[in-house]
Amino acid sequence: MPHAMLNPPRQLGRTARAATPRATSQPRPTVADQLERLTSRFDQLTYRARLAPLSQRDYDALEEAAQLLASDLRAVFRGRSVPRNPPLLITEEGGLW
């Protein structure tokens, strides 16, 4: 291969800047788009839950996957913020401590 092909000539000055593509910002995805991206994970979770019988390990893994999915669903609407003062304990009656 000729040396000239390895190092093509560079443009200088205004033409070089004009030839450089500008970074374009992508439009922010809509809520529906963001939710749609999560549907396959929900479908997989539902499929795995229908497999019977579930061992305790399977059940725990499903719960963890559901918690992660719930976190991502919440993030669609509220962002990734973490509550500053989450309750220490939630009783069966719904009381917070």
Q: What is the pLDDT of residues 23-78, one digit of tens each?
A: 677 888 899 999 999 999 999 999 999 988 889 999 999 999 999 999 999 999 98
Sign of the torsion angle spanned by Cα atoms 24, 30, 31, 32: negative
User: Does residue 10 carry a pLDDT above 60?
Assistant: no
Domain that holds residue 36: 31-78
Q: Please check whether residue 92 lies inside any domain of the structure.
A: no
Check if the beta carbon of residue 66 is closer than 8 Å to that of residue 45: yes
In a domain, 94, yes or no: no
Confirm whether 63 is domain-assigned.
Answer: yes
In a domain, 11, yes or no: no
What is the distance between the alpha carbons of residues 63 and 47, in angstroms, rounded to a whole number?
A: 14
Average pLDDT of the chain to the nearest whole number = 79
Whether the predicted model's global pTM rises above the 0.85 cut = no
Residues ≥6 apart with Cβ < 8 Å to 58: 48, 51
Q: State the angle between helix axes of 56-78 and 31-50 in degrees (0 to 180), rounded to the nearest 10.
A: 170
Q: Is 47 a domain residue?
A: yes
Residue pair 91/97 in contact by the 8 Å Cβ criterion: yes
Residue at 62 is within a domain: yes
Q: What is the pLDDT of residue 28?
A: 82
Residue 3 scores a pLDDT above 60: no
